[in-house]
Amino acid sequence: MPNATLEKGLIVLEAMAREAREFSLTEISELTGLTSSNAHKLLSTLSSQGYVLKNPATRGYQIGLRTLELSASILDRMEVRRVGLTYLHELADRTKSPTYLGILHQGQVLTVETVYPAGVYSSTSPGFGSTLPLHDSAMGWAMLAAMPVGERVKYIPKNEDIEASIKKVERMGVAMIQRPRKGPPVTVGVAAVVRNYRGEVIASLGASTSKGDWDHRDPKVFADEVVKAASGLSFALGYAASRLVLEGLSI
């Protein structure tokens, strides 16, 4: 049976993490269904441990840095991110584009690292901690293509007809997607999966650029660079088959 108090505390932290603002006691009370008195006790407990900060001037509450300490500790122990940073930096330098690394988390792609090349920043690139739908992102398409058909259908909404695109990714070993897919595209993302020593898909590595920049690039060269980076990271993690460099890619 779930611990009700803990569950409400997590609801508060998740809400504060989603919105970069202060919350009033009344808002927290409504969010958790607690009385003002009990909501205050909950916030006091979270505040005493550094998970929540109280602004004395406004009497509002916002998420504290203790949560950042926890996430940093988890990320430091995540081998694929630690080893992958080198490959992300190298790919960013070679493509002059933002690069990123994502893992499958609760049916979405969770971005665990983003690297920008010198002098380049894009607000449309997936930032650290952001989530992307599997059916509407390059990293997601790469992961879906590596799944058995029976498994990936669980992650694709019934109104999304992308099976042909996923099969193409499966055949080529690299995903490319223009976003938004409906309407004039703004960005283009390219991604390939990362495997561990068992051959299991544990992450997806990608790069993105604006549609205008993409139109002046060689798609094959860009895709090759992404595949080589993902392949190199896989090899560094013990996946021997990644020594085979894919050739003849076309998208």
- What's the token pair of residue 34? 């607690």
What is the average pLDDT across 30-43?
87
pLDDT at 204: 97
Q: Which residue has the higher pLDDT, 211 or 74?
A: 211
- What's the token pair of residue 1? 């049976």
Cβ count within 10 A of residue 89:
15
Residue range 120-155, pLDDT digits in tens: 766 666 777 788 999 999 999 999 999 998 899 899
Q: Among 203, 208, 206, which residue's Cα sits nearest to residue 234?
A: 203
Residue with tokens 């694929």: 80
- What's the token pair of residue 46? 């979270």
Phi, psi of 233 (to 5 degrees): -65, -40
Whether the predicted pLDDT of 243 surpasses 50: no
pTM of the model: 0.70
SS3 content of the chain, % helix, strand, coil (to 5): 45, 20, 35
Residue range 187-221, pLDDT digits in tens: 999 999 999 988 999 999 999 999 999 999 999 99
What is the average pLDDT across 90-99?
96
pLDDT at 112: 92
Q: Which residue has the higher pLDDT, 192 or 118?
A: 192
5-19, 80-94, 203-217, range with the lowest pLDDT: 5-19
DSSP 134: G
- What's the whole-number average pLDDT of the chain? 86
> What does the alpha-carbon distance between residue 140 and residue 175 come to, in Å, rounded to a whole number?
9
Tell whether the torsion through CA atoms of 117, 119, 120 and 121 is positive or negative. positive
Whether the predicted pLDDT of 2 surpasses 70: no
66-70, 85-89, 179-183, range with the lowest pLDDT: 66-70
Ordered structural domains, the chain, with CATH: 4-68 (1.10.10.10), 78-243 (3.30.450.40)
- What's the token pair of residue 206? 């990608």
What is the average pLDDT across 1-11?
75
* Pairing state between β 61-63 and 52-54: antiparallel
Residue with tokens 């992300």: 88
pLDDT at 96: 94
pLDDT at 245: 44
